[in-house]
Amino acid sequence: MSDDLDITEKTKQLCIRSNILIRKFAACNRAVKTKLFKSFCTSFYGLPVWSSYKQSTMHRLRVCYNNAFRYLHRLAPWCSASGMFVNYGAPTFGELRRHAIFGFMTRIRNTRNMLLDNLYPPFSGSGHTYYIDMNLNVMHDHYPTVYIL
């Protein structure tokens, strides 16, 4: 089972939302555009559980995310993506992914649900190491196969 269809759908939705922002809010100032981008273009339902996909599919989503920000702010296509996000105070796509995965893992770890406690034991030394390894893989777009504790 692959997550490629879901990721492709999220890419299309991001294109639609960003095009609406670009058309309707072209005359707004930098702070307003950044706030709108953070509000409408940074929520990806299901992001923390995507585990089986082609790297090209995830790359397409990341490029769409970066270009949406560039076009909204009328930045040059060759400007640094990380620099532009830092200068405008918006999260990069990698930051967004890491934050979503960390939040998901934290919610599972802190749950009081007995079923989840039995299926996924709390972090131990090896579990913590696994989480760190997973985050390093997220930064470089090399997912293993499973991401649930």
The predicted-structure confidence for 104-117, as pLDDT tens digits, reads as follows 888 887 878 877 77
For residue 92, the model assigns a pLDDT of 95
Q: Band the pLDDT of 25: cuts 50, 70, 90.
A: very high
Alpha-carbon distance of 74 to 71, in angstroms, equals 5
Alpha-carbon distance of 18 to 24, in angstroms, equals 10
Is pLDDT of 149 > 50? no
Kindly state the tokens that stand for 81. Answer: 């993506």
Is pLDDT of 129 > 70? no
Rounded to two decimals, the pTM is 0.78
How far from chain centre, in Å, is Cα 18?
15
| Positive or negative: CA dihedral 71, 7, 59, 146 | positive
Alpha-carbon distance of 108 to 88, in angstroms, equals 32
Q: Band the pLDDT of 1: cuts 50, 70, 90.
A: confident
The predicted-structure confidence for 36-82, as pLDDT tens digits, reads as follows 999 999 999 989 888 889 999 999 999 999 999 999 999 999 999 99
The residue ranges of every structural domain in the chain are: 4-139
